[in-house]
Amino acid sequence: MQLPPKGRGVTSNHASRYRAHRLDAAPEYIDAVAGDEEPPRHPATRLHVDASRSVIATNRSPDVPFNRSINPYRGCEHGCVYCFARPSHAWLDLSPGLDFETQIYMKPDAARLLAEELGRPGYRPEPIHLGANTDPYQPVERDTGITRAILQTLHDAGHPVTVLTKGALIERDADLLAAMARRGLARAAISITTLDPALKRTLEPRAASPQARLRAIRTLTAAGVPTAVMVAPVIPRVNDHELEAILEAAAAAGAGHAGWILLRLPRELQQLMRDWLQAHRPLAAAHVMSLLRASRGGQDDDSRFHSRMRGQGAYAALIGARFERAARRLGLATGEGPPLDCTQFRAPSTAGQLTLW
């Protein structure tokens, strides 16, 4: 089984499911062609400008604790093989495989567009979530600063925000988050999948190390930012044995809340995960998928609300019971975090002196 290019999470780059023309040929012919065109050993990250005219996305999903979100980027350089957002790259006519982690679309005007949306007549504030689809603190953020500019805009407007990330770069913005948290306007969550650096390198090659994420929890909590740990995703026979250890390490670092999500495999992610298992866990691959299907009504994935996050059946119930017991023992709250204050919002002025007329 071919391993991913160095620093990347997947091996394949199958065409978008929306592409009008697809290759349909005998498997031996496809294999022969593929053998002559191996993926580059060090595929470069390419940045593109996303020309979106708005940045606030809305949803009414009953199992998601927010209705509004901002994604500063489309695609994610972290390269997490299990990322449920991978199939969304097909909407750009790009592959959910290597394209997802190498073809990154950024929104450099996000802060300006946000200010315009916040300043519209009739706007009513609700907490905005950063990190709903792709990570707001992926490596390119270090150079672009788009996420920080968004936070600054929300800070200046007195607008509540929640943040979820696997990136330790969130420490850079502890000053803004702390200032907002003191006013009841911000809380954060750090996602930790494993404490094993070797497993991290294959599951999520460009995400921050486990120790760096624990340090981020310490930094944020020391600054007064309410911080949760998300054990996500829980993957049968891969990282499920680490559940209690991750919660213990996060609690020791200062986390006050905790949550977990069972591995989800929408659309193309089903084959991408199978490829990863064959490359890195070949002897356990069948068992992993068997446990997952047993938790998904016999299918690889179950997209139904309230079931998609936690699954069902004996295995899912066992993980849930272990999580609840460990959280109680460690004093970690579960469920939604502390409520945020929407009463401090003041619409930003985007028209300068024209607002006097």
Q: Is the pLDDT of residue 355 over 70?
A: no
Q: Is 143 helix (H, G, I), strand (E, B) or coil?
A: helix
Nearest of 39, 6, 11, 43 to residue 201 by alpha carbon: 6
Asked whether residue 326 is domain-assigned, the answer is yes
Asked whether residue 149 is domain-assigned, the answer is yes
Q: 311 lies in which domain range?
A: 43-337
Q: Is the pLDDT of residue 338 over 90?
A: no
Asked whether residue 32 is domain-assigned, the answer is no
Asked whether residue 171 is domain-assigned, the answer is yes
pLDDT tens profile 208-220: 999 999 999 999 9
Instruction: Find the CATH number of the domain harbouring 54.
Output: 3.20.20.70
Q: Is the pLDDT of residue 26 over 60?
A: no
Nearest of 213, 116, 219 to residue 177 by alpha carbon: 219
Asked whether residue 31 is domain-assigned, the answer is no
Distance between CA atoms of 98 and 293, rounded to whole angstroms? 26
User: ∠ at Cα 109 (103, 115), nearest 5°?
Assistant: 140
Provide the number of structural domains found in the chain.
1
Q: Mapped to the 3 state alphabet, what secondary structure does 154-215 carry?
A: HHHHCCCEEEEECCHHHHHHHHHHHHHHCCCCEEEEEECCCCCHHHHHHHCCCCCCHHHHHH
Nearest of 138, 129, 82 to residue 269 by alpha carbon: 82
Asked whether residue 215 is domain-assigned, the answer is yes
Asked whether residue 333 is domain-assigned, the answer is yes
User: ∠ at Cα 140 (54, 196), nearest 5°?
Assistant: 120
Asked whether residue 33 is domain-assigned, the answer is no
Distance between CA atoms of 184 and 226, rounded to whole angstroms? 10
Q: Which residue did the predictor score with more confidence, 108 or 19?
A: 108
